[in-house]
Amino acid sequence: MLVWREIAIQNNKMTSFGLIKFLVDADVIPRLLGPEALSDIVTKITPPITIKEHNFFHNSNFSHIYDKDIKNTEQFYEGDPHFYFHEFVLILARLAFETIGKGMDKKGSINFLFQTN
């Protein structure tokens, strides 16, 4: 298993399926937000650049992945914006900030986001 430093050094990209699978396994989706809210957060951090990426978000592919494909193997989606490690970290930080609120410090909100019940 890779550690975070190795992932950052290799500069690998994460697919939308991988992001959603990670958040489902961490019980963030659907406990704190749905796939539509995640799509909104992702577009704030990594706005679509190409027409294919715009269509990917416009066609609600985050909801489609969550509703139909999350139990299956990963599929290719045209226009899927693959995320670099730094974008992934920014998405997690924004997700914590928006779901937890402004009353908690940043470190506390990220810890709360991934605590288990």
Residue 73 pLDDT > 80: no
* Cβ-based neighbours of 79, under 8 Å, separated by 6 or more: 48, 50, 51, 52, 53, 54, 55, 56
* Residue 115 identity: Q
- Judge whether 80 lies within some domain: yes
Structural domain range at position 43 = 33-84+91-117
- Judge whether 5 lies within some domain: no
- Judge whether 116 lies within some domain: yes
Predicted local confidence at residue 105, as pLDDT:
62
96: left (phi over 0), alpha (psi -120 to 50) or beta: alpha
- Judge whether 105 lies within some domain: yes
Residue 66 pLDDT > 70: yes
Mean pLDDT of 19-35: 81
Tally of domains in the chain: 1
- Judge whether 11 lies within some domain: no
Residue 116 pLDDT > 60: no
| pLDDT tens, residue by residue, 76-112 | 778 888 888 888 888 888 887 777 765 556 666 666 6
Torsion angles phi and psi, residue 115, rounded to 5: -75, 150
Question: Could you give the CA distance from residue 111 to residue 99 in angstroms, rounded to a whole number?
Answer: 12
- Judge whether 71 lies within some domain: yes
- Judge whether 2 lies within some domain: no
- Judge whether 56 lies within some domain: yes
